[in-house]
Amino acid sequence: MEIEARADTMINSMDLSGRTILVTGASSGIGLETSRCLSELGARVVLVARNKERLFQAASTLVGSGHQIESFDLSLVDEIPNWLLSIVNTLGPLDGIVHSAGLVSLQPIRLWNAQETDTLMKVNVYACFALTKAFRQRVAHKQSASLVFLSSAAGIRGEMGRAVYSASKAAIIGLTRSLALELVRDGLRVNCVAPGMVAGEMMESSRDVVLTNEQLASIGNKHPLGLGKPRDVANAISFLLADASRWITGTTLVIDGGYTI
């Protein structure tokens, strides 16, 4: 009986029933799989991406009802706080935010330019600041709410031609640590996950734009457990949003198949 009680407690600590969680980048990849995972755990999900048609398609794959879609361009950083508060005014306070949306830059330093870097930083990093600025307000979040950002193994271990992307993902790790300390008084936990290379649309776009099949195979071989799947990352994000992780803040959860060992 005691073992069964402990098992029930463990299951309940992952239950997200009655909670509302906003997920950016929800129309594809890790963001979409995270939205699916959260819905399976009982959450109502607010799916955010730029393409409304793809958002409708994504929402149709979720479990349960009451999910919402929000078409928004996160590069419009200055508009994010008011936009988020408008969602709160309609749906009520949120229990969590997952910032999964992100841009990738794969280019050698000889081709670097400030404009492309600024565009990438707006979505990958500045949006974290803007979302947090709005979310920390009392009207925007419920008690013991949680923020989860997506960093990357590239922010821990360098790769040739990925300086801009790596810099943005390393910034998220530092941002997470500082915000976790600053926002504890607001009842907010702040964590991030750092995935390795995950099979899916982001990897396919890398193949089409820059990387050859041989280069992709080389990256795959650097992951002792092989390439991951979006669900591997979604499971970790869901954990960081649930009561099971109530004593965790300011951490970077590395999910990389051993890539950064």
How far apart, in Å, are the Cα atoms of 104 and each of 151, 187, 190, 210? 12, 32, 23, 11
N-terminal to C-terminal alpha carbon distance within the chain: 40
126 is catalytic: no
CA distance 61 to 155: 31
Residues 150-177 as b or e (16 or more Cβ within 10 Å = b): bbbbbbbeeeebbbbbbbbbbbbbebbb
CA of 258: how far to CAs of 156, 157, 223, 225, 228, in Å? 12, 12, 6, 6, 10
With beta carbons less than 8 A apart as the criterion, state whether 21 and 96 touch.
yes
**Could you say which of 72, 126, 149, 165 is catalytic?**
165
Residue type, 86: S
Beta bridge partners, 24, equal: 48, 99
Give catalytic residues, as residue numbers. 165
